[in-house]
Amino acid sequence: MNERNHIQITERGDPRVAPFVSVRERDLTGGADGRFIVEGKVPLSILLTQSRFAVESLFLCETRLAPLSDMLESLAPNIPVYTAPQALMDEIAGFPIHRGILACAKKGDALPLDDFLGAKRLLVLNEISNHDNVGAAFRNAAAFGADGVLIDAGSCDPLYRKAIRVSSGSSLWLPYHHGGTGLDQIEALKGAGFEIWAMTPRADAVPLHTLTPPDKLAILLGAEGPGLPEALIEAAQPVRIPMRAGFDSVNVATAGAIALAHVFNSD
């Protein structure tokens, strides 16, 4: 790391680390200022090497500077690396940052839906507000070869700090579109030649293992509990994962993983 990058922080009120103040409260604003926070070594590595997002600054516990030196070697000289003792870093962030690694990046322009219509395999999330489930869904999509993820406006931001961590950083590099309604997305996908599998425990849905994936496929997942709205199921091909009697559902991210794995192994 170029020494010009390194800036020691000695006071909680230093304005240069304002984006890192009260990180949990910042999470609740949903990145209203166009910034988001990344936490941990693996997500930081992906942010610096694979993501499309512009890095604004890093904030590290001073004991993490040496272990991360190789990763920071190629950091542009205009990106500041702030460091502080653990106690001060925790005070600034508002809770213990056990990993001692934070970064601030800019969201930039959102990717339009049209960018995804030439893909072959997409995961589509509808009304999923749980950050763990969104993060896990991204991790599964990355693992099983999805070309991207579509997320309706009612689903949570995949750049929420915890969603990034649960995704193992995959939400930083896997392309996604966030906005609009599920019906709008289905209409656009159908117009582009996609078959859509709506994952549902309904007894009359087609068993997943009997299906051969088409050339262009979107796998549609709904929220825990209520599942997909009836209108979305009717607009797609209802598909179920067979389970033992008396047990009809698994976690939504798990359902996505099973469906994606079936497609991945069939290609």
For the chain, which domains are there? 6-106 (3.30.1330.30), 113-266 (3.40.1280.10)
Q: At 234, list the tokens.
A: 């009717």
Please name which of 214, 138, 220 lies closest in space to residue 187, comparing C-alpha atoms.
220
Residue 168, number of CB atoms within 10 A of its CB:
18
Rounded to an integer, the average pLDDT of 54-77 is: 93
Report the C-alpha gap between 224 and 250 in whole angstroms.
9
Per-residue pLDDT at 1 exceeds 60: no
Tell me, what's the pLDDT at 29?
Answer: 65
Residue whose token pair is 């990046």: 105
Residue 80, number of CB atoms within 10 A of its CB:
17
Model confidence band, residue 15 (pLDDT cutoffs 50, 70, 90): very high
Per-residue pLDDT at 192 exceeds 90: yes
Please name which of 208, 249, 259 lies closest in space to residue 226, comparing C-alpha atoms.
249
Q: At 40, list the tokens.
A: 């941990």
Tell me, what's the pLDDT at 177?
Answer: 98
Tell me, what's the pLDDT at 217?
Answer: 98
Tell me, what's the pLDDT at 138?
Answer: 98
Per-residue pLDDT at 148 exceeds 90: yes
Q: At 116, list the tokens.
A: 């995804």
- Is the pTM value of this prediction over 0.75? yes
Report the C-alpha gap between 254 and 264 in whole angstroms.
15
Sequence-distant (≥ 6) Cβ neighbours of residue 86 within 8 angstroms: 61, 62, 63, 97, 100
Tell me, what's the pLDDT at 209?
Answer: 96
**Which percentage of the chain shows pLDDT scores above 70?**
97
Model confidence band, residue 267 (pLDDT cutoffs 50, 70, 90): confident
Rounded to an integer, the average pLDDT of 258-263 is: 97
Model confidence band, residue 3 (pLDDT cutoffs 50, 70, 90): low
Residue whose token pair is 């600054």: 57
